[in-house]
């Protein structure tokens, strides 16, 4: 991925930051990633080191304790981790999904309590929406927060929560009015609170170094100072975060596809079959030509989306298109690249093997690709209802 052919509006300060992030990834992340994959999570110390280098919450203002960059700084961290195949550190969830809730909806005292620690890496954040029986259709969630005097009692469980084992802060979605399916409130839950329990670090097929957990809330007592914004405002808040979240997924997957192609070009140039490099076979040449064209199309769309987002002009439909198209493209690219590696592509010692399995989740999380299609279809055919509408999906 050459910076010179990018149309995103990176400036000199971004190029300098990219070099710094690249060094950090090579020195502090890649040498440990195999061990983290075996252990199921990254070292806690990594978060502090990343915070000290300004890699956490890169676009958070200095007044809130952040490094004061913009979304292009965030994109750089996402891209540099992606192109080295470092799927373990859950920085993107922490920086681009959790912190923005506090930045956008937190009171000054909530911001002061949590945000400087999130930028420094002292506090790891998680976002807990999904439940065993409620993912795409979040309004089916069962977790409740009921009033008990001047406190709230949070009861329920979440599943598939990224950073769940390491989290110090969980933003938890709960129903607060049993008569109203739409009444969801977001709570800031300190994971040291009595009644908070972490379940299993889930056994996934890929992304092994990232902790993904069940979380349980056994009547956790919370004050009003733990409510984010107004009670019942949760869905509006969740919607607010979806554009940058989906853009970030597209940014990451684009970089992953470009990395897979670079590894594969290297491999086919060196691997000999029938007395000549694989790269001389027409099938290899044509497949790589097609895949590079796919990646070039994705790059143009992603950089355009980044530029739009920088100007506050990226809408939900275009963000859904970016997430849909780039995650599907990544799936095609890693599968074809693995094929070109032959049996070695199936061995985890080759990065393409991990990239292939890690890529599979991208079509499911952040709103599944079927939900992305619903969002796009609603925008292009505003008058036409789906025969099977996602009745009250958040997505």
Of 20 and 144, the one with the shorter C-beta distance to ligand FAD is 144
Q: How far is the CB of 32 from ligand FAD (least distance, A)?
A: 20
Residue nearest to ligand FAD (CB): 135
196-205: long-range contacts, CB 8 A cutoff, minimum separation 24: 196/170, 196/220, 198/164, 198/165, 199/157, 199/164, 201/40, 201/41, 201/164, 201/165, 202/159, 202/160, 204/361, 205/357, 205/360
Does position 193 interact with ligand FAD (CB under 6 A)? The reply is no
Does position 340 interact with ligand FAD (CB under 6 A)? The reply is no
Q: Which one of residues 204, 271, 292, 360 is an interface residue with ligand FAD (CB under 6 A)?
A: 204
Alpha carbons 127 and 167: distance in angstroms, whole number: 9
| Residues β-bridged to residue 135 | none
Does position 331 interact with ligand FAD (CB under 6 A)? The reply is no
Q: Which one of residues 59, 162, 213, 279 is an interface residue with ligand FAD (CB under 6 A)?
A: 162
HSE at residue 106, side-chain half, CA atoms within 13 A, is 19
Of 146 and 368, the one with the shorter C-beta distance to ligand FAD is 368
Positive or negative, the CA dihedral 83, 200, 192, 219 is positive
Of 140 and 351, the one with the shorter C-beta distance to ligand FAD is 140
Q: Report how far Cα 35 is from the mean position of its chain's Cα atoms.
A: 22
Q: Which one of residues 62, 180, 218, 370 is an interface residue with ligand FAD (CB under 6 A)?
A: 370
Helix (H) or strand (E) holding 97: none
Of 180 and 370, the one with the shorter C-beta distance to ligand FAD is 370
Q: How far is the CB of 157 from ligand FAD (least distance, A)?
A: 12
Which one from 37, 245, 258, 362 is the annotated catalytic residue?
A: 245
245 is catalytic: yes
Does position 17 interact with ligand FAD (CB under 6 A)? The reply is no
Q: Which one of residues 103, 265, 281, 364 is an interface residue with ligand FAD (CB under 6 A)?
A: 364
Q: Which one of residues 248, 250, 361, 375 is an interface residue with ligand FAD (CB under 6 A)?
A: 361
Of 21 and 126, the one with the shorter C-beta distance to ligand FAD is 126
Q: Which of 158, 308, 160, 174 is nearest to 244 (CA)?
A: 308
Alpha carbons 71 and 8: distance in angstroms, whole number: 11
Which residues lie closer than 8 Å to 238 by C-beta, 6 or more apart? 129, 138, 173, 184, 186, 394
Helix (H) or strand (E) holding 95: none
Positions that interact with ligand FAD (CB under 6 A): 93, 127-130, 135-136, 160-162, 204, 207, 212, 361, 364-365, 368, 370-371, 374, 390
Which residues are designated catalytic? 245
């Amino acid at each position: 991925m050459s910076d010179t052919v990018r149309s995103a509006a990176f400036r000199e300060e971004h190029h300098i930051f990219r070099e710094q992030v690249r060094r950090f990834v090579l020195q502090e992340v890649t040498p440990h990633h195999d061990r983290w994959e075996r252990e199921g999570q990254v070292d806690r110390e990594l978060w502090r080191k990343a915070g000290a280098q300004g890699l956490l919450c890169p676009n958070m203002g200095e007044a809130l304790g952040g490094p004061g960059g913009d979304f292009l700084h965030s994109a750089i961290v996402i891209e540099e981790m992606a192109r080295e195949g470092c799927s373990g550190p859950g920085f993107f969830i922490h920086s681009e999904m959790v912190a923005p809730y506090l930045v956008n909806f937190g009171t000054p005292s909530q911001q002061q309590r949590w945000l400087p620690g999130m930028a420094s890496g002292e506090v790891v954040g998680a976002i807990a929406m999904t439940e065993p029986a409620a993912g795409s259709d979040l309004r089916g969630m069962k977790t409740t927060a009921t009033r008990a005097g001047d406190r709230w009692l949070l009861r329920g469980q979440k599943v598939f929560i990224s950073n769940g084992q390491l989290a110090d802060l969980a933003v938890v979605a709960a129903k607060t009015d049993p008569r109203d399916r739409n009444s969801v409130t977001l709570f800031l839950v300190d994971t040291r609170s009595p009644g908070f329990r972490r379940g299993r670090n889930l056994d996934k097929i890929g992304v092994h170094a990232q902790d993904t957990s069940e979380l349980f809330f056994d009547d956790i007592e919370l004050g009003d100072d733990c409510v984010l914004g107004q009670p019942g405002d949760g869905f509006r808040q969740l919607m607010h975060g979806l554009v940058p979240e989906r853009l970030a997924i597209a940014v990451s997957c684009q970089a992953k596809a470009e990395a897979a192609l670079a590894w594969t070009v290297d491999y086919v140039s060196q691997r000999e079959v029938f007395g000549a490099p694989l790269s001389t076979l027409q099938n290899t040449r044509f497949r790589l030509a097609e895949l590079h064209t796919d990646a070039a199309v994705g790059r143009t769309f992603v950089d355009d989306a980044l530029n739009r987002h920088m100007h506050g002009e990226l809408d939900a439909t275009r963000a859904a298109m970016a997430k849909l198209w780039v995650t599907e493209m990544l799936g095609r690219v890693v599968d074809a690249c693995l094929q070109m590696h032959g049996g070695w592509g199936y061995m985890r010692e080759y990065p393409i093997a991990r990239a292939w399995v890690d890529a599979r989740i991208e079509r499911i999380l952040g709103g599944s690709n079927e939900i992305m299609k619903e969002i796009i279809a609603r925008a292009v055919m505003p008058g036409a209802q789906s025969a099977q509408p996602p009745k009250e999906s958040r997505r």
